[in-house]
Amino acid sequence: MKTLRLLLGALTLGVCLAFGHHQLVQAAGADFTVTPQLGQDQINGTTDYFNLLVQPGQSRPLQVTIENTSASAKDFTVSLTNAFSQGNGEIGYEPKGQVDSSLTVPLTSMSSQPEQTVRIPAGGSQLVTVPLQVPAEGFDGVKLGAIYVLDQSVSEPTEAGEGISLSNRFAMVMGVQLQTNADAVVLTKPDLKLGTVAAGTEKGNANGGVIVNLRNIAPIYIDNLKATVTVTRKGEDKPTLERTVSDWSMAPNSVLPLTVPAKKELKAGDYTVKISAATPDQDWQFTEHFTIKEKEAKKVNKALGLTPPPSGPTSGNWPWLAAGGVALLALTGGLFWWRRRSRQAPAA
């Protein structure tokens, strides 16, 4: 699976995330490494993440070694997480990501200790065990997630220009994929459904418009997804908004918030959204009618800076404005003449 081999190395809100493609994972400037302790149950000889064929009812602990390469002691939070779909077309592995209601047995529910904190001295290392119990009845498809290791210390602020400084916190992600059937990836097919459609803005950034929630209700990831979305106002032929994305991915049993961005003022009214989505092996078509309320449109327009400035005077108002201007000038001139004449009048 290509998604599990991504090196994110991204700096977002001062947090550096690394998804390694080697046994030893390290992000530049992180001052610690994470190494998975792999067993004989790895699938297809995978050596860069936990890709395991497990048995129903099996106890299968996951172990990683964390090495603190800094000159001071560090506290690390180690979390087992569920994979989720992100609005940029990539699969996310951070804690508490949004999953779909179709995920009845999440990976995190299989651990009696999905989160723990460990303290490692300067130059030291520690083996951390995440307990994992496979359900007795097994499960369909795959379970996808990660071991997410967060360094609780905060680096020294760095200048980012314009008087702004950033303090970085680093995390590393070690992928986890489980299946109870050796052919699960081949036999399980993605199943896309259309979720909610509404005007809104994305969390944490300035993008917004119409957000289309695509649901993958199957316990299998999706790669190489292409989607075209058009949003057309009722009574019009030309789409008001449109967007095409390609080479996107979705996590199993997840919701993908696909934003069709507004480039100009969004207006309240009735609309129709049409979605055409496809992978190399499957395709889906969706059509949905929805309404953008005045309050929703104003909120999006304000967030995106699309609210037009107050309109200037219309041509029909010019005669009245001109007359008012003349009257104001005459009044000002008369007042000036009267005050001057009063000063020049001789005393009695």
Q: Are residues 180 and 217 in the same domain?
A: no
291-296: long-range contacts, CB 8 A cutoff, minimum separation 24: 292/198, 292/199, 292/210, 292/266, 292/267, 292/268, 293/199, 293/268, 294/268, 296/198, 296/199, 296/200, 296/268
Q: Are residues 161 and 215 in the same domain?
A: no
Q: Are residues 213 and 175 in the same domain?
A: no
In a domain, 112, yes or no: yes
Expressed in angstroms, the distance from the first to the final Cα of the chain is: 106
Report the range out of 99-103, 326-330, 333-337 with the highest average pLDDT: 99-103
CA gap 176, 237 in Å, rounded: 47
List, for residues 47-81, the tens digit of each pLDDT value. 889 999 999 999 999 999 999 999 999 999 999 99
CA gap 22, 7 in Å, rounded: 10
Q: Are residues 238 and 179 in the same domain?
A: no
Residue 22 has pLDDT above 60, yes or no: no
Q: Are residues 254 and 163 in the same domain?
A: no
Of 139, 166, 184, the last residue of a domain is: 184
What radius of gyration do the chain's Cα atoms show? 30
In a domain, 150, yes or no: yes
What percent of the chain is predicted at pLDDT more than 90? 70
Residue 18 has pLDDT above 60, yes or no: no
Q: Are residues 57 and 79 in the same domain?
A: yes
Determine how many CB atoms are found less than 10 A away from the CB of residue 166. Answer: 12
Q: Are residues 174 and 31 in the same domain?
A: yes
CA gap 348, 345 in Å, rounded: 9
CA gap 149, 31 in Å, rounded: 13
Q: Are residues 271 and 288 in the same domain?
A: yes
CA gap 126, 158 in Å, rounded: 30
The mean pLDDT of 141-162, rounded to a whole number, is 80
CA gap 334, 340 in Å, rounded: 10
DSSP label of 133: B
List, for residues 107-137, the tens digit of each pLDDT value. 999 999 999 999 999 999 999 999 999 999 9
Q: Are residues 171 and 244 in the same domain?
A: no
Token match 């507004």: residue? Answer: 262
Domain count, the chain: 2
CA 20 → CA 30, 185, 342, distances in Å? 13, 22, 89
| CATH number of the domain bearing residue 297 | 2.60.40.2550
Token couple for 116: 């723990």
CA gap 145, 80 in Å, rounded: 7
Q: Are residues 154 and 202 in the same domain?
A: no
List, for residues 23-36, the tens digit of each pLDDT value. 455 556 789 999 99
Q: Are residues 155 and 218 in the same domain?
A: no
Q: What is the span of the domain harbouring residue 132?
A: 2-184
Q: Are residues 180 and 215 in the same domain?
A: no
CA 148 → CA 54, 60, 83, distances in Å? 21, 18, 11
Of 158, 184, 210, the last residue of a domain is: 184
